[in-house]
Chains A and B, each alone.
Chain A
Amino acid sequence: MTAEPLLVVEKLEVVYQRAITAIQGVSLKVYPNQIVALLGTNGAGKTTTLRAISGFLGLDDARVTEGTVTYRGIHLENREPYEVTRHGLSLVPERDKVFPNLTVAENLAVVPGRRGRSNRRMLEQVYHFFPGLKDLRRREAGLLSGGERQMLAVAAGLMCDPEMLLIDELSLGLSPVAVQSLTASLVAIRNELKISILLVEQSAVVALEIADMGYVLENGRVVLDGDAQRLLNHSDVQEFYLGHTGGDRRSYRDVKQYRRNRRWYG
């Protein structure tokens, strides 16, 4: 990769309520026009990392205590969410991602434009990637199915005219069909709009299938990173995220502990 990275997270440490360290020394890079997957189990620190980037931390009484988040060279640690959005990063949160009492069209219309692009043009673009939303535009967002809601959330994130989309748990609670259609849309968005996507996922298959790069988090640290294809074939990922077993299998915990020790100390 010859280009400069868009987003650089360097040795990030986040502390909740001044006492609980959620992530420790997480570093990652996202290059232009790249889809990057951030993987890990519950509580690994994926969402915290994403929130630290998007400025949502202050609301949970958490702070970035060490490390840096820079986007195009601009420091983003402990900023307000709307400032981050204005710089071109747009977050699709895990929960409460749409305004339930507003219609689909209204959900998209409330987003102010960036870089002077007209709302109408952005709307055409969004309906191009999510044609299904056009038929639903008069429906209240609270009445949408999970898949439709996720579609609307990504679409609304796109209305912010971002250079990078941050998506928290794309596939959580959705049917395989819905997930497939969403990932296809994400790839199309990346290819046509040339924007980068940082994808937080529990499902390694979903994420690594479309990602260029991947990072695996465990207990607030990055334990594995690299090319998505390489990760997909990596024995640890195979074993713990894809459920492929090979050879004599011990209990999940033992293996995990053993492998981690081997990686860190050996």
Chain B
Amino acid sequence: MQFAVNILVLASIYALIASGYVLIYRVSRVLNLAHGELMMFGAYLLVTTAAGLSSSPVVAILLALAMSLMVGGLVYLFLMRRMTGEMALAAVLTTVALGILLRGLILMFWSASPQHPRDTLGWENPVLMLPGDARISLFAALLVASTILVYAGLFAFLRFSRWGMRMRAAGQNPLLAAQRGINLHAVFALAWALSTFTGAIAGMLIALDSGLDSTMVMIGLKAFPAALVGGLDSLLGALIGALIIAAAEVGVIKYVDPLLADVIPFAVLVVMLVIRPWGLFGTREELDRV
């Protein structure tokens, strides 16, 4: 039972982060390789707001979330916007540079020492007992719940809201979308904002659960195979991909060797790329671009 809970928690983390990769890729066909850093940046924003507003933790979290939403939008407006219409490769390389830049910024402002925003906010992280003698920490449980909420929200947004439909339309045929009068820059900025927002939720909850330092980037990077295995332009795929990667990782930790944990997601990724490069639920025509 504990085994299943571990998979569920890890899958939630990966799924939450992977949704960010999918959002941006689906709308603009750009792989955001700075997603891990942006997620970490959100967590560090919480470190700062928590220090300033330790008496009202909820406000601190909401403020940090709002700021990360803005950060995502600003990254698009000031950086990625210039890349629209350019080669996808140029845009992807820009995100790599952005990631390195963010890592440097984080070291400069927050130092490399581990941070514990939960202690700053004065919160406990009690262990909850589940049936079958399994345990889960409070913030890990919140992570699972957040993932469910975020996915339900994203599905509803893309399906029913006008801007969600515009995001789908722009992803399918940006030219036609522009011709119909849809402001593509607004759509792309929204995708970046939402992507950074969901990433920041993951980053903050992980930080609240177990603290953070600059190695959090690795978690962001390991969520990337989850998005790719599922198919980069499918949210459902990201969810399933996250489950597969998490199950493989937890299984190997338990039955083989815990040292292999960081390798497994990429091993699964390589296998997937050989068998089905466009992922489980991805669109096949993307083949030439992967």
Contacts and interface: CB of A to CB of B under 8 A. Distances in A.
A91 B34 CA distance: 37
B181 A114 contact: yes
B229 to A, nearest CB: 22
A157 B176 CA distance: 11
B183 interface: yes
A160 B179 CA distance: 9
B178 interface: yes
Interface size class of B (residues with CB under 8 A): 10 to 19
B271 interface: no
A102 B181 contact: no
B172 A93 contact: no
Interface string A101-129: 11000110111101000010000000000
A82 B181 contact: yes
Contact of B178 (A81, A96, A100, A159): A81
Contacts of A82: 178-179, 181-184
Interface string A18-58: 00000000000000000000000000000000000010100
15 contacts: A56-B175, A59-B175, A81-B179, A85-B178, A85-B179, A85-B180, A93-B176, A99-B176, A101-B168, A102-B165, A107-B169, A110-B177, A111-B180, A111-B181, A156-B180
Interface of A: 54, 56, 59, 80-82, 85-86, 90-91, 93, 96-102, 106-107, 109-112, 114, 119, 156-157, 159-160
Interface of B: 162, 165-166, 168-169, 172-173, 175-184
Closest 3 CB pairs of A and B: A85-B181, A81-B179, A110-B169
Given A90-B181, A111-B180, 14 more contacts: A56-B179, A59-B175, A81-B175, A82-B182, A85-B181, A86-B181, A97-B176, A98-B176, A102-B165, A102-B168, A106-B168, A109-B162, A112-B183, A157-B180
